A = this chain, B = another copy of it.
């Protein structure tokens, strides 16, 4: 559907005003604030048209108009220009990242903070499961009488460990031998490909050191399991308290519950994620819980898998700013991941 210039201008005015004030905007307000050379009456006619087309709606007959979700969608698709964060803000982000470069955890935290701070919406970051990175080495390290550490290093330098208890008869050199065995078997495989059957054949090979092997396998199994699934980091959840649409306690509760645990949020995002910034407005979202919110998100690539970053806000959202910020941050993450290979970052669950 193509709108003529004037209608587009009016739609934009209504959106900008409504996003800023959360109140319906009337014809007078449009001519006053946006200095069109037409009268309020004309605007009214145009607005009535826009309403017929579904881009605007009226809360009640004698109120101003507010943009419908379809209106927002049209604006986002056909008119919007992203507003990128200022140079100073980008500067700040870089500083944060440099300061925390040692700890992947802190990096993620820092990015989340930045996103929510700059935009005033709740931000989320989904770090892809470690399962998809490649096995690089496994070491068994004695740490005290009767205990050893199973240390797994992946290709991108993620370190994972589990403690196991071992018989006292096992010496350091035995542990090393066992470790080497694992390495020969698994090096270069994806963690998700390390099947139990592999583990089984390995076990048969080494009956005499069965106990250590068993425990190591168990630990490995455990590492690959649940807790190292995708990680979700949420920041600035309380920003939604600022939005007048959530003055209602029930709504508020439902939304905040989404943020309190990791699971629900994951369910809300599409599994497959397209290139660039994606925007889901209100009802466009699949999940019931989030049909009165909007998402602005993007994927970033790390170690072959996709992670996700994004913002959650009310339908009445500053999409231009949100999209600009998400896109900028996505680019910075990509740089960080793929470019600074010299000293791969230290990961830590």
Interface residues of A (CB under 8 A from B): 102-103, 105-106, 136-137, 139, 141, 143-144, 147, 149, 151, 153, 157, 159, 161-163, 165, 222, 227, 237-238, 241, 247, 249, 252-253, 256-257, 260, 343, 346, 348-349
Contacts and interface: CB of A to CB of B under 8 A. Distances in A.
A245 to B, nearest CB: 12
For A105, A222, A348, the residue with the greatest tally of chain B CB atoms inside 10 Å of its CB is: A348
A345 to B, nearest CB: 9
Contact of A227 (B103, B247, B257): B103
B163 A346 contact: yes
Given A144-B136, A153-B144, A238-B257, A102 B252 contact: no
Contact of A346 (B136, B153, B162, B249): B162
A141 B148 CA distance: 14
A139 B141 contact: yes
Nearest to A219: B102
Majority SS of interface residues in chain A? mixed
Given A227-B106, A260-B238, A149 B144 contact: no
B153 A159 contact: no
Contacts of A343: 165
A220 to B, nearest CB: 13
A238 B222 contact: no
Copies of this chain, tallied across the complex? 2
B102 A162 contact: yes
A153 B105 CA distance: 21
A246 to B, nearest CB: 9
Given A163-B159, A253-B238, A346-B162, A141 B141 contact: yes
Contacts of A141: 139, 141, 151
Contacts of A257: 238
Nearest to A147: B157
Contact of A249 (B147, B241, B349): B241
A343 B219 CA distance: 15
A35 to B, nearest CB: 35
Given A137-B144, A238-B257, A348-B349, A161 B162 contact: no
Contacts of A163: 157, 159, 346
A249 B251 CA distance: 13
For A105, A136, A157, A163, the residue with the greatest tally of chain B CB atoms inside 10 Å of its CB is: A163
Given A151-B141, A227-B106, A253-B238, A159 B161 contact: yes
Contact of A222 (B102, B105, B252): B102
Contact of A143 (B102, B103, B153, B252): B153
A200 to B, nearest CB: 22
A273 B254 CA distance: 36
Contacts of A249: 241, 247
Nearest to A149: B159
A136 B142 CA distance: 12
A256 B227 contact: no
